[in-house]
Amino acid sequence: MVWNRIRDALSGPPTLEGPSKLPPYFPVEPSGCEKHAEKLFACLANEATAKARDMEKMGYGKSYYEDVEKERVAKLSQQQKDDTTTAAAATTTVKNDDNKADIDKSKLPSPNDNPLDECRLAIAYYKRCCDRELKKKKNWILTEPYRVQEEYRYKSKSG
């Protein structure tokens, strides 16, 4: 355990290759990775969820169903055509009834944003720790698939 911390200190912070995504063993919290797992869960609960909600409010949320996804893509392409013709600057001023507020368009979500980018460093630390700790005997059971016995399965009603 001490050698791993020394190695981590010398190697520097981990990096993720490619787009931000959660590892396939994501919800596990092996012993030895509690600190990294808690940071990741907190980040997912706060920053990533807030960004995902903002993207849904703007209409950029992706759907599981194909017909809804086609409508969303068509709407976004139409909206982008309208935005390119009307927007000339990156910063616009929105006038409300009583106050003026400057909105920076670089902080607004775009259709290609990934909400998990907010937690990229936490995902990298979690992945590095879990890749190391899940190989140990005390945590190995967390990756094992388990089989539900036949008598505990739901019975299908036929007839």
Spatial CB neighbours of 108, under 8 Å, sequence gap ≥ 6: 54, 58
Using the 8-state DSSP alphabet, how is residue 46 labeled?
Answer: I
Is there a contact between 141 and 30 (Cβ–Cβ < 8 Å)? no
Domain ranges for the chain = 9-60+114-145, 62-108
Query: Which residue is associated with the tokens 């009603």?
Result: 157
Distance CA 44, CA 123 (A): 10
In terms of pLDDT, which residue wins out, 157 or 141? Answer: 141
Which pLDDT score is estimated for 92?
45
CB-based burial label for 118 (10 Å; 0-12, 13-18, 19+): buried
Query: Which residue is associated with the tokens 């909400």?
Result: 115
Nearest 5 degrees, angle CA 123-CA 48-CA 29? 40
Q: pLDDT tens, 100-135?
A: 456 666 666 676 778 888 889 999 999 998 888 888
Which pLDDT score is estimated for 69?
65
Which pLDDT score is estimated for 96?
43
Which pLDDT score is estimated for 94?
43
Distance CA 56, CA 62 (A): 8
114 closest CA partner among 60, 58, 57: 60
The torsion region of residue 25 among left (phi > 0), alpha (psi -120 to 50) and beta comes to alpha
42 closest CA partner among 31, 32, 54, 50: 50
- Local structure of 54: helix, strand or coil: helix
Confidence of residue 40 (pLDDT cuts 50, 70, 90): very high
